[in-house]
Amino acid sequence: MNKTEQLTEELVYNKFNTEEALKKYISIARTKLWESEEILIEKYFKLGGRILDIGCGCGRVTFPLAEKGYRAIGIDICNKMIEGARVLAKNASHIPNFFLMDARNMQFDDNSFDGAIFSFNGLSEVYGEDNRSKILKETNRVLRPEGRFILSSPYFLLRYMPLFAASFICSKLMPKEERIGFGDRFYIKNGKECYFHVPKQKNLISLLESSGLDIVYSEKRNNLSKKDKKLDSFDCMFYVCEKK
């Protein structure tokens, strides 16, 4: 692991593993599913199937899946997120299982899930193409044949170009082990250094396909649901994939 990769893992972990993050994501979990997510889940997930919620946070997606009759399991790498999910589970009518787990090395058998979802642009919080690839390959491994995977991701807009290009070019002046990839961004929010990745669509498609996942449908969130245009977050792209 190079210096930049180590630093970024610490930033991402610390971003979600604080008391402040716990309160925020407990509140987010209570907002439930986006309408666009409901549309895709009902269309592409087999009712009653075993569904994995990757990077589940405090269970915004996991709890509604369980309420709809899916056998839902949520995993997250951060203690605070799993702690929050288990607090909310105490008052839930349908209780999913939650596990502290690194999605790059899932502790599940091969072919053990009917579906998986990585929501809220979670993959973009993961530094480095190698790490993102590991998660997608693990997702493919745990899916049953023809299992479905729903991924949401930010998409690259022209207005982002100067910002990301400047960061990328400046990084070329740094030592090799500290350089960043195109689409990577370090920024300050509420006094804390943060990281986020906005992929080029063709690069993400290539990463999905090389992980053994065929894209069967893709669409922008705000095209799927007019209601979701009112959400307090940027539009994103949904990819529905099937295990090859």
| pLDDT tens profile 218-241 | 999 999 999 999 998 889 999 999
| Tens of pLDDT, residues 120-171 | 999 999 988 899 999 999 999 999 999 999 999 998 654 555 555 555 555 4
Cα gap 164→55, rounded to integer Å? 25
Report how far residue 175's alpha carbon sits from residue 90's, in angstroms, rounded to the nearest whole number.
49
Judge whether 207 lies within some domain: yes
- The stretch 201-205 carries a mean pLDDT of 93
So what's the pLDDT on residue 5?
A: 65
DSSP 8-class letter at 227: G
- Mean pLDDT within 45-64: 97
> 0.75 exceeded by the pTM?
yes
Nearest to 106 by CA among 80, 72, 143, 59: 143
Going by the DSSP 8-state scheme, the letter that residue 187 receives in this structure is E
Distance in angstroms (rounded) separating the CA atoms of residues 193 and 177: 19
* CATH code for position 235: 3.40.50.150
Q: Is residue 182 part of a domain?
A: no
Residue 175 lies in a domain: no
193 or 208, which is more confident?
208
Percent helix, strand, coil in the chain, to 5, is 45, 25, 35
| pLDDT (tens digit per residue) in 58-94 | 999 999 999 999 999 999 999 999 999 999 999 999 9
Question: Does the structure show a pLDDT above 80 at 56?
Answer: yes
- Two structure tokens written together for 134: 């590991």
For residue 179, tell me if it sits in a domain: no
Tokens 């400047």 found at: 166
Q: What is the pLDDT of residue 12?
A: 79
Gyration radius from the chain CA atoms: 17
**End-to-end CA separation in angstroms for the chain:** 30
Q: How many domains does the chain have?
A: 1
Q: In percent, how much of the chain has pLDDT > 70? A: 86
Q: How many helices (H) and strands (E) does the chain have?
A: 9, 9
- At residue 190 the predicted structure's pLDDT band, cuts being 50, 70 and 90, is confident
**Would you say residue 64 lies in a domain?**
yes
Q: Name the β-bridge partners of 148.
A: 115, 242
- What integer is the mean pLDDT of 174-187? 62
The percent of residues in the chain predicted with pLDDT above 90, rounded, is: 70
Domain encompassing residue 7: 3-155+200-243
Q: Strand 237-243's sheet: what is its strand order?
A: 97-100, 71-76, 50-54, 113-118, 143-153, 237-243, 213-220
For 207-219, what is each residue's pLDDT tens digit?
999 999 999 999 9
**115 domain residue, yes or no:** yes
**CA 146 – CA 148 distance, rounded (Å):** 6
Q: Where are the beta strands (DSSP E) in the chain?
A: 50-54, 71-76, 97-100, 113-118, 143-153, 184-189, 192-197, 213-220, 237-243
pLDDT of residue 228: 97
